[in-house]
Structure 1
Amino acid sequence: MGAMKFLVLGGTAWLGGEITTAALRRGHDVTALARGESGTVPDGAAFLRADRDSPGAYDAVARQSWDAVVDVSRQPGHVRRAVTALSGCADRYIFVSSCSVYADHHVPGADESAPLLPALEADVMESMETYGEAKAACEQHVLDAFGHGRALIARSGLIGGPGDVSDRTGYWPLRFARPAAGDGSVLVPDAPELATQVIDVRDLAAWLVLAAERKVSGKFNAAGEPMMLPAHLELARQAAGHTGPVVPVAPQWLADAGVNYWSGEHSLPLWLPLPEYAGFASRDNRAAVAAGLELRPLSETLADVLAWEQAAGPDRPRKAGLTVLEECELLATI
């Protein structure tokens, strides 16, 4: 097919940059509109510097025509103003939402028809406490302006792979590659019934571009294949070549020791409480796969994120996981 005109709102941070790169690789014309504070635009893309909080942020792009707009924002005001400005000059709008929009995470295998959280009424999400509500509001703004036939809502699961500065997918392979304990022991949650579900950032970006080419519309769980936590950790261990002891610890023991779930300081990434999060990382992704989403093996994602972690600097300040000292202290009390 001929080259399409893509407008990526963002395009300089992690996912936006991958989307821009994927579209360029397919021969499309790409313009990124962003503040430019999160990184540089990939070579080959045009760049328009704009603050989405400022009046007139979309004036320059609203005077052009676009085959597809891709938006990854979490701020309802950003999306509301963008769709208002662009609904008359863009053929379709692709919004990267999140599976956090769902109101309930108890049920494994839930599909896109599951109930959503109430949409945030404010234009600004003040904290991550209302992330799901903010993304739900963004979805509604897109659908109100573009309708169901011109909009793609991609509810992403946990995004991983090279460049994951959230540290949720890189923590485990890096820890297995560099154990905290002198004997090579690695502390892991003993949670055999907990699912994980990672989508490689490169696979998500490639699918969004493909969906634009095919004029795909609708709501999709853009998520990886569910995998139980022990199997995920074993793949991370294999990627790292770890041969030391693995020390499974009961979830209640970890909670009593003050270890946090999922992310943040003093946490174990991917670990979540059961049964309330039994369905959080086991969403039904069949609709997205049927619409062309191709998923690489998790082993490849983990190997690649480990290589990126080692190149980026394993000792950089981290946003998730236990420090070496914290893990050693926990292991010493077992």
Structure 2
Amino acid sequence: MDLLVLGGTQWLGRALAAEALARGHRVTCLARGEAGDAPEGAEFVRADRSRVDAYDAVSGRAWDGVIDVTRQPGYARAAAAALGGATRRLAFISSGNVYAAHDVPGADETAELLPPLAADVSTPETYGEAKSAIEQAYREALGDRFLAIRPGLIAGPGDESGRSGYWAARMARAARDGGPVLVPDILDAAAQAIHIDDLVRFILDALERGIAGAFDAVGDRSTFGAWLEASRAAAGFDGELVAVDPDWLAAQGVAEWSGADSLPLWIADPTWNAFLDRSNAAAKRGGLRLRPLARLQSETLAWERGRGIDRERGAGLSPERERELLALLRD
């Protein structure tokens, strides 16, 4: 196939381009080129998607598939106009954030979506509405040639956000240095992630087979406790976990989910309690295959070790901050 990847120089887009090349497809990546290089073997077209001429170099060609990962509605609206008639099918990597509610365990693709963002430029606060708007633009332009992929948390090697690898890396440090490890007392809370390679395989398989529609491409439904145990097993840590009341953690200024001074995968807002608890039944019927959680954690930890488990992270508690919190608990 002749595939056009709008992006292809960052984590997911680059992984899609690289796997497509490995499958023998001809791949073109259109991007500014500021985030990194396209994979070796891909044709690179340098373009700024905010410009009116962004697609001039590719809109006159026939494509078997186009893949877009953007969060900017304006980019997608322009791409839909320029490329909608030039491709046999288009896959957009959307997000579970497109849904209007996140408090129904096991919800599927029939759930209500957020109203599409009218503006062309999104902000972090309008991320879900922006992804909804992009789905709308492509759906209207391509009809039954459109594939919407809605992942939740993407995990595995290459996750520079630091979220998915935090617990495995933390357990590895504890196995080396000794515990205890501070965790939020939410062991029964939902936890769900998809390995990037499983996601990439599903997207490309669907394009190759001509599948259309919307799919929640998410991992199997599980719990935070199971996530911790898989992290412990991957790291070989059998020491103490100190489970702490989430309200106490919040009072100390510990953040949920991601970012500095946080505990990843902890979602404190009750209206988001099922964000990591969606059904993947439709995706599995469409061919999604998932590796076991134990393998996901071991592969993630191997990458974390390569990056350095003592490095400054984009998410999680620093060792100093964790020791401070544990000392407060003992007082």
- TM-score band, normalised by shorter chain: over 0.9
Q: How does 1:50-65 map to 2 (within 5 A)?
A: 50-65=47-62
SS of the residue 1:79 aligns to: helix
Equivalence for 2:272: 277
Give the % identical residues: 53
Give distance in 2, aligned partners of 1:267 and 1:229. Answer: 15
1:180 deviation in Å?
A: 10
Aligned length: 329
1:316 deviation in Å?
A: 3.6
Unaligned runs of 5+ residues in structure 2 are none
Equivalence for 2:140: 144
1:179 deviation in Å?
A: 3.1
Note if 1:303 corresponds to 2:298: yes
User: Match of 2:84, as an amino acid?
Assistant: S
SS of the residue 2:271 aligns to: coil
The question of whether the paired residues in 2 share the 8 Å contact of 1:180 and 1:324 is answered with no
Give distance in 1, aligned partners of 2:204 and 2:293. Answer: 21
Give distance in 2, aligned partners of 1:308 and 1:180. Answer: 17
1:277 deviation in Å?
A: 2.2
1:44 deviation in Å?
A: 1.6
1:88 deviation in Å?
A: 1.4
User: Match of 1:101, as an amino acid?
Assistant: V
1:236 deviation in Å?
A: 0.7
Give distance in 1, aligned partners of 2:294 and 2:178. Answer: 25
SS of the residue 2:4 aligns to: strand
RMSD: 1.4
SS of the residue 1:59 aligns to: coil
Unaligned runs of 5+ residues in structure 1 are none
Equivalence for 1:251: 246
Q: How does 1:203-282 map to 2 (within 5 A)?
A: 203-273=198-268, 275-282=270-277
Note if 1:166 corresponds to 2:174: no
User: Match of 1:133, as an amino acid?
Assistant: E
Note if 1:132 corresponds to 2:137: no
User: Match of 2:119, as an amino acid?
Assistant: A
Give distance in 1, aligned partners of 2:94 and 2:264. Answer: 21
SS of the residue 2:58 aligns to: helix
Q: Taking structure 1 as the reference length, what is the TM-score of the superposition?
A: 0.96
Note if 1:117 corresponds to 2:119: no
User: Match of 2:210, as an amino acid?
Assistant: K
Equivalence for 1:35: 32
1:244 deviation in Å?
A: 2.0
1:300 deviation in Å?
A: 1.3
Equivalence for 1:196: 191
The question of whether the paired residues in 1 share the 8 Å contact of 2:98 and 2:131 is answered with yes
1:274 deviation in Å?
A: 5.6
Equivalence for 1:11: 8
Q: Taking structure 2 as the reference length, what is the TM-score of the superposition?
A: 0.96
SS of the residue 1:6 aligns to: strand
Note if 1:185 corresponds to 2:180: yes
Give distance in 1, aligned partners of 2:33 and 2:290. Answer: 30
